[in-house]
Structure 1
Amino acid sequence: MVTITIFVGQGPYTAERPFTALRFAYTALLDNNLVKMFFVEDGIWCLKKGQDPANIYKIEEWVQKCIDEGAEITACGVCMKGRGMADTELMAGVKKGTMEMAVEMVKAGDKQLFF
């Protein structure tokens, strides 16, 4: 078992990187690894509750699957503020974080990835 820290910096429907990151995280969790995810920049929009795009994967469902399997999911507070996202817009189970928290995640992790 390893601890994997994953950073996501792209919005949910501009490319498939966030979807790929979440599928990777979910697979790692099912393999009994610890996963910590830190969403930065436009990646924070992946964590906005209530999104319902037509005819495409629902990123909110994948975030929830990861949370249900034990992933720690954090949104960058500075990125949220800069984009006008309120704390109340975050999905349940997601916490708002700081860059200091991101540094601690990297230090505690065995592997780090950026999507």
Structure 2
Amino acid sequence: MVPLSRDRAGNNGRKTLTIFLSAAPYSGESASTAMRLAKAALDAGHRVNLFASADGVYGFTVGHRPKGLPDAEAGFRRLMEQGQHVELCGSCLTIRGLRREHLLPGAAPSSLAGLFRLIRESDVVLTLGNER
């Protein structure tokens, strides 16, 4: 019998959450919701991955902050410092003219194969995109 505090993999109840974010950081509530969910999961001791696609990649660029709005760059930077793993759609970066030097340190260009790997390794996957 497996103790209640441990799952079958021996992870002491620690789960992996992957968030797929496809909305720009200032186009609605998706990015701030992703940040709040990630913080809650990290604070509870869980692993958090975030894969940004489409305009979601803008949340991980340096110096992209409209005046008078919450600072997505600082929020995502804090989460990454707390242990959130971030991968960004490489094609989405290329289409938007974004290069590695535009990205927050630790945010890595990736691919759909990378997204599939994150999904396969996750206990829970959430998708957040444009609210239309």
Same fold (TM over 0.5): yes
Identify which of 117, 125, 129 aligns with 1:104. 117
Considering fraction of residues, name the structure with more helix.
Answer: 1
Per-residue deviation, residues 14-54 of structure 1 (Å, max 9, x unmatched): 11211111111011100000000000011011111112322
Q: TM-score, normalised by structure 2?
A: 0.84
In the alignment, does 2:61 pair up with 1:48? yes
Q: Which residue of 2 aligns with 1:32?
A: 45
Give the total of aligned pairs.
115
TM alignment of 1:1-115, pairs within 5 A: 1-115=14-128
Of all paired residues, the percent bearing the same amino acid is: 26
How far did residue 7 of structure 1 move?
A: 0.5
Give distance in 1, aligned partners of 2:49 and 2:73.
17
Q: Which stretches of structure 1, 4 residues or longer, exceed 4 Å deviation after superposition?
A: none
Give distance in 2, aligned partners of 1:108 and 1:114.
16
Name which structure has the greater RCO, CA cutoff 8 Å, separation 6+.
1
How far did residue 97 of structure 1 move?
A: 0.6
Q: CA RMSD in A?
A: 0.9
The structure that has the greater radius of gyration is 2
Q: Give the match's secondary structure for 1:49.
A: coil
Give distance in 1, aligned partners of 2:91 and 2:117.
17
Q: Which runs of no fewer than 5 residues in structure 1 stay unpaired?
A: none
Q: TM-score, normalised by structure 1?
A: 0.96
